[in-house]
Structure 1
């Protein structure tokens, strides 16, 4: 493990392009997705560009140079704080790798601190929205049944669009009341619970789907896999038909709605992290922050003290006796 001192300078023994190549090779060996590797490559290219703007060599890098020159340069370019934070996460991974491989004298990434961001708005469906959406598909037709079951699966599990599209018939574990979700490029999987109503709907859909030459769960009328673009368009059309306005209508809205209802119904954050497939608990905690106002309203509605006060007068405090 690298010993890190705050004043240590970054002293790699490989040039920039070799270092990046080795890092990306390591990412591939860890079976990271192509999208993640592409994001890492782009982030490191951005760092290289900003070093050039500051007329700095990467061998001169130190925590102070990053925080006082490179990061401000990114902000001046107009990058959002969220994008800068994403780049910082990439740099931390990069410097940690180089230090571990002996290509750097110290891991300067530990001194990089992300910007504190205001929680983003998480669009969610109301119960009225959901009633309208689920009333739209004509379940007497194959496509209507498929679309209904897809939306039901999204709402009951909170899985991502790509995870939904990649589902195989063998991933529907009816006996275990679970879906097996493969994350990324087959690097790992998780079991997501699914409840009785959705399970029964899936069973009916799979009977209608029948046996085919492939195991893709969701199919078109031509028995081809129903791809993410088609799913996205289907959700968009239903939202338009339901006249849902003022919120972003997408598969991710089902995911946010699932998370909100899970939290509001008393679900714990650690189980939610596992269900949603988050790598970091901080990502899951974001939902608690986003729905804090709703949680306060829920507590007010179900507060044990407030309910006891209705039955037991001695719980009451005369507000005129309260001194601030």
Structure 2
């Protein structure tokens, strides 16, 4: 069983180009599943039944929420789908097991005042050594909507600050590349950082004091620090909220959903629809713009 899981994880890494974080989640979930199977003396993959999976998930439900259960089931389903495609099993025992329904959470994003306060907090709180870097990070997250993993994966050769074609090339989920234009403001701040960026061997755009590529947890920590400094403490506001802010700003400025989908790197338009939340004020402002009668 463990050998099959190792093959599956290699497939995710080499052919599906999944991120290390995602692969770790698969490894963790499948590892727990194997532990459960071994406790019931089931070690042969062809003898695993639908009921085995249900019993495993039922046990997990005692200490885990619906989101975690859904993720574990998704990991198991992907694993068995891979085994079927490789001809290792004839029937998929989990194909018709339904995932628990998850409550739809409204994405958290910053208001104009809040993201202006965030930028001001960076300028006020950052040490001189980190100011240009941290400001460029926050501005790039707000001004492009890229994911945290995409930001730390950016390299110098993927940044184009030519004034006639300012953009960054991002490798998103599934190693799919997309090009995101940069505004004059974003390009200017990024350019200032590049002028002050230490000359090190690492090709990563954002680097640590040690000269290596900045890690995701470091970026997460510094963004949380500046959010706190800006007194932005509402629930579920973190790095991903800056991505939501970019999408919401595009929507409020009249951008087409398909355009937003492309910029955010969503595979399905339905994801973009769920991703962007229009609050009641936005709805009211939209309705107020309607003029049904001719002016007298």
TM range (shorter): 0.7 to 0.9
TM-superposition CA deviations, 1:100-155 (whole Å, max 9, x none) = 12111123443132222112343222222222222230599453233222211110
2:254 is the alignment partner of 1:254: no
Partner of 1:179: 168
* Equivalent position to 2:138, from 125, 128, 151: 151
Do the aligned partners of 1:95 and 1:107 also contact (CA within 8 Å) in 2? yes
* Equivalent position to 1:69, from 44, 55, 58: 55
Q: Distance in 2 between matches of 1:29 and 1:214?
A: 23
Q: Distance in 1 between matches of 2:47 and 2:213?
A: 51
Which segment is superposed worse, 115-124 or 94-103? 115-124
Q: Give the match's secondary structure for 1:308.
A: coil
2:102 is the alignment partner of 1:117: yes
For normalisation by structure 2, the TM-score amounts to 0.81
2:294 is the alignment partner of 1:307: no
Do the aligned partners of 2:77 and 2:95 also contact (CA within 8 Å) in 1? yes
Q: Distance in 2 between matches of 1:112 and 1:270?
A: 32
Q: Distance in 1 between matches of 2:26 and 2:209?
A: 39
Aligned length: 290
Q: Give the match's secondary structure for 1:181.
A: strand
Q: Give the match's secondary structure for 1:307.
A: coil
TM-superposition CA deviations, 1:63-87 (whole Å, max 9, x none) = 4x25753432332x32211111111
Larger Rg: 1
Runs of 4+ in 1 over 6 A off after TM superposition: none
Q: Distance in 1 between matches of 2:230 and 2:175?
A: 38
Judging changes above 3 Å, is the alpha-carbon distance between structure 1 residues 308 and 269 closer, same or farther for their aligned structure 2 residues?
closer
2:256 is the alignment partner of 1:271: no
Q: Give the match's secondary structure for 1:114.
A: coil
Q: Distance in 1 between matches of 2:104 and 2:237?
A: 19
Q: Give the match's secondary structure for 1:303.
A: helix
* Equivalent position to 1:207, from 195, 200, 208: 195
What is the Cα deviation at residue 214 of structure 1?
A: 3.7
Q: Give the match's secondary structure for 1:309.
A: coil
2:64 is the alignment partner of 1:79: yes
Partner of 1:8: none
Do the aligned partners of 1:124 and 1:247 also contact (CA within 8 Å) in 2? no
2:90 is the alignment partner of 1:105: yes
What is the Cα deviation at residue 198 of structure 1?
A: 0.7
Q: Distance in 1 between matches of 2:285 and 2:82?
A: 50
What is the Cα deviation at residue 249 of structure 1?
A: 4.4
Partner of 2:282: 298
For normalisation by structure 1, the TM-score amounts to 0.75
Q: Which runs of 5 or more structure 1 residues have no equivalent in the other structure?
A: 1-15, 314-324
2:27 is the alignment partner of 1:37: no
Q: Distance in 2 between matches of 1:300 and 1:276?
A: 26
Judging changes above 3 Å, is the alpha-carbon distance between structure 1 residues 233 and 62 closer, same or farther for their aligned structure 2 residues?
closer
Do the aligned partners of 1:124 and 1:256 also contact (CA within 8 Å) in 2? yes
Which segment is superposed worse, 231-240 or 253-262? 231-240
Partner of 1:132: 117
Judging changes above 3 Å, is the alpha-carbon distance between structure 1 residues 228 and 88 closer, same or farther for their aligned structure 2 residues?
closer
